[in-house]
Chains A and B, each alone.
Chain A
Amino acid sequence: MTLHSKKATRRRVMSALGAAALAAPAIRSAHAQAKTIVFGGSVPLTGAAAETGLNVNNGYITAVSYFNDVLGGVEIAGEKYKLELKLFDDASDPARATTLIQRQIDEGTNFFLGSFGSNIVLPTAAITERAKKPMVQTGGGSDAIFTKGFKYVFGMYPRATRQFASTAALFKTLTPTPQTYSVIWTNDAFSKTAGQGVKLSCDAAGFKKLDEFELPAKPTDVSSVLGSVRANTPDLLVCVMHDQDSLLIARQMVASNTNVKCLFQGLGPQLASFREALGKYSEYLMCSTYWDESVPYKDKFFGDSRKFVEYYKKKFTRPIAYHTAGAAACIETYILAMQAAKSTNPEAVRDALSKADYETFYSRIKFTPDGDGDAIIMGSMIGQVQKTKLEIVFPEAASSAKPLYPQPMWDKKA
């Protein structure tokens, strides 16, 4: 019995091996069918831009995980593909980022996602452009990215000087109509051009500029600027800079009792940590936001924004930010372009991206011939902190609350 059993076992093993040998080509074939599309790039997971970099990274991971695990991959021209991310920490350092991107190009990566910060996106986009590899990014809005004749870089926002048009339009709807504005920006690639955009849009809308202030890239004290604001007080004070610097200004405005009728901060109030830090003083502050869970767009893959958020929350505990949604939309835009091109050839995909007109959970996606987001279709919404929540107050079609203006004095908020 034992011998018979052994023989039977040996026979079974031999049979199994034979079957495996016969089946090997089929297995190889099945394996060959599960092709992979690799998205390369860098993100700042450490260094000065790490806070938003982490949001961007989470967006990329959410999208790839959804396409692979929930949808089982994506179908392009009749073939099934899995998605793979090859993203590295650039430590918020443009020099490090360019080295990482060049290495990935040398290794054959065809499609790139963007880092966060125009100072990183610009030099890395120059490398991918030279290699004729597309980059879709949600981290760089500086005009310099979109005015150098690049054909392979696409951004999920309008260029910085066009980003303020919708905010100026909101200002025109306020009553009593504001007459004057002052603008503060920090000395970095994005904020400087965004500051120019504020001036262009506000001047075109007929507001009178009182002052403009350029702060160092990393300010630690703004008391002298606020002294000037108190001496020559505008109706609207617009600050275009990164979150941490916005918080510094808001805190010093409260502490020095510097009041304006409307404080608009491009980045900052949309973050829960910012609102917590300012507490009740964050009420009425306005900011730009490019996405909100409540936006009404339908999506071929995720369904809509709420479903995207549901899936995100299954994977991460970190509060979702618009950069997260924008990053996921970068990958979705790539997939839609590949499906439209019926190809994964980088140049064909680039051509399809340039003709993109897709609806995603994030926004309708349509790029200008220079690669930045269409200023009307992909322009910003305006949020205002009302009862600790960020409500959308503009445009009216997407709004969840009416804008409150003028803002009360700081001591009235106490």
Chain B
Amino acid sequence: MNLVVQTLADGLVLGGIYALAAVGFSLIFGVLHVINLSHGILVLLGAYLALILSTSLRIDPLLTMPAVMAVLFVVGYAYQRLLIQRAVDRSPLGSMLLTFGVALMLQNTMIWVFSPDMKSITPGYALASFKLGAISFDAVRVSCLLASLVMLCCLAALLKFSALGRVIRATAQQTLAARLCGVNVRHVYALTFAVSAAFAGASGIVIGIILPFSPADEGTWTLNAFVVVVLGGVGSPAGALIGGLLLGMVSTLTAQYIGPSFPNVTMFLLLVLLLLVRPQGLLGNAFAPSR
């Protein structure tokens, strides 16, 4: 019994991290209809920035989150306005090819700047643990799960209650209507991308604390985000959370009860099944009803 509970707890913690890493990807997919294949690069950029800032300023890596998010926000805005929008204007598939190319280039730039060596962000509490009854928890993973939940709630609130969120939702639901109402759609697209990049950066900090990372890992985080979004549904933090938690639980349950080498098999089997049965994901497209 303890083993089942422990496995479920581990799955929830892992899933929360997957969710945070995927939410930016989901938002861009939902609003801009762009599959951002450079998403993993933005995640890693957040991890590297946190490493540099926390080491040079000697502060807790989680405290670097506002600065990292601000930098990624600016980078994301510029990236969308200067590159992605131009590709979207030319061809629907152009943005996919562009983000793939940018991912390749930036991965190599990261190797050049940061070296290909594995890095890790190791605050004093990085290896702490605690027990609740017979269940032991990795304290950092749990705190990262909490940080993920807080961030997802913040994003949900931003989308639901703020003026920016309303404009983003309006643009995603009816681009033409939003434009007729005077919304600068290109600016909204860039802001959406900027918010998504900022959240990707934040997830990078969390991931950097939990896992060793190197520039070669960018593909893993793009792929995970893609799976999470397909499972949970496009465009909403809730969809990302559901998809992430599902993915995390499936991974740990499979590893425990089928075999540690099988999580990827069950993950993609689930993906195929869901695409056949419910291709819009468990929560569907958050912006679809008005389309």
Given A252-B138, A279-B122, A227:B3 Cβ within 8 A: yes
Please tell me if A95 contacts chain B, counting CB pairs below 8 Å. Answer: no
Distance to closest chain B CB from A52 (angstroms): 9
The count of residues in chain B whose C-beta lies closer than 8 Å to any C-beta of chain A is 39
A45 to B108 CA separation, bound complex (whole angstroms):
9
A92 partner residues in chain B, CB cutoff 8 A: 216
B108 partner residues in chain A, CB cutoff 8 A: 46
Given A218-B220, A225-B260, A273-B119, A255:B3 Cβ within 8 A: no
A309 to B119 CA separation, bound complex (whole angstroms):
25
B259 partner residues in chain A, CB cutoff 8 A: 214
List residues of A (43-63) whose CB comes within 8 Å of B's CBs: 45-48, 50-51, 53-54
List residues of A (180-227) whose CB comes within 8 Å of B's CBs: 187, 213-216, 218-225, 227
Please tell me if A231 contacts chain B, counting CB pairs below 8 Å. Answer: yes
Please tell me if A152 contacts chain B, counting CB pairs below 8 Å. Answer: no
**When the two chains form their complex, are residues B116 and A50 in contact, meaning their CB atoms are under 8 A apart?**
yes
Q: Specify the chain B residue showing the minimal Cβ separation from A231.
A: B3
A251 to B139 CA separation, bound complex (whole angstroms):
12
Please tell me if A247 contacts chain B, counting CB pairs below 8 Å. Answer: yes
**When the two chains form their complex, are residues A244 and B212 in contact, meaning their CB atoms are under 8 A apart?**
yes
A410 partner residues in chain B, CB cutoff 8 A: 127
A46 to B218 CA separation, bound complex (whole angstroms):
12
A279 to B127 CA separation, bound complex (whole angstroms):
10
Please tell me if A256 contacts chain B, counting CB pairs below 8 Å. Answer: yes
List residues of A (213-267) whose CB comes within 8 Å of B's CBs: 213-216, 218-225, 227-228, 231, 243-244, 247-248, 251-252, 254-257
**When the two chains form their complex, are residues A255 and B111 in contact, meaning their CB atoms are under 8 A apart?**
no
Q: Which of A45, A215, A220, A257 contacts B211 (CB 8 A)?
A: A220
Q: Which of B10, B139, B261 contacts A214 (CB 8 A)?
A: B261
List residues of A (245-298) whose CB comes within 8 Å of B's CBs: 247-248, 251-252, 254-257, 273-274, 277-279, 281
- Which residues of A pack against B, CB within 8 Å? 45-48, 50-51, 53-54, 92, 187, 213-216, 218-225, 227-228, 231, 243-244, 247-248, 251-252, 254-257, 273-274, 277-279, 281, 410
- Which residues of B pack against A, CB within 8 Å? 3, 6-7, 10, 14, 107-108, 111, 115-120, 122, 126-129, 136, 138-141, 211-212, 214-216, 220, 251-252, 255-256, 259-261, 263-264
